[in-house]
Amino acid sequence: MNRLDRLRTILLRVVKAVISINNAKPSFLIIGTQKGGTTSLFHYLQKHPNVLSPEKKEIQYFSWNYRRGLLWYRSFFPKKKNNKIAGEASPDYLFHPYAAKRAYEYNPNFKIIVLLREPIDRALSQYHHEINKNKHFKYQDFQDAIFKESLHFKEEWKFYMQCTEKLLKA
């Protein structure tokens, strides 16, 4: 994407954010695991006549894009319509240490849909997804991937525990 396209994209997002006051306010969140079915459910709900869908899946406002502000978040949703509900799917809200608190502060009445999957099937599906997506995937076999990811998980767990302690003290 060249500079002019980036500028056009940013300008369009700013304009959409300013007029987003009248956009639908989401009332449900779909969260879950990678390769757990969140994309399928999101697409099924997009087809329902009483559901207003955002323009993309995984807005990730309550996790990685929180600093962009509420108007930015609301700009992804269409205008309000009678008797229709809006929601979004950002699976990483399940894991992000601040997502639950931020979502609750935005809407304490959110309906949360959590999608999980049998762990071995999910891990195997993700492994094959990574291999198909990236021919130079760093793990050659499934057993090696599980072992190395378990080491990585220990480091992530420490980070999430530190964040949880900060939240409890706040």
What DSSP state is assigned to residue 140?
S
Task: Tell me the residue type at 67.
Answer: R
148: confidence class by pLDDT, cuts 50, 70, 90: confident
Q: 150 and 107, same structural domain? A: no
Residues 21 and 74 in one domain: yes
The pTM score is 0.80
Number of neighbouring beta carbons within 10 Å of residue 158: 10
**pLDDT tens-digit profile of 37-56?**
999 999 999 999 999 999 99
Could you tell me if 128 and 80 lie in one domain? no
The reply to whether 134 and 106 lie within a common domain is no
> pLDDT by residue (tens digit) across 71-119?
889 999 999 999 999 999 999 999 999 999 999 999 999 999 999 999 9
- Using only the alpha carbons of the chain, give its radius of gyration: 18
Q: Are residues 67 and 149 in the same domain?
A: no
- Determine the Cα–Cα distance for residues 107 and 130; give it in Å rounded to an integer: 35
Contact at 8 Å (CB) between 77 and 86? yes
The domain in which residue 88 lies consists of 1-117
Q: How many domains does the chain have?
A: 2
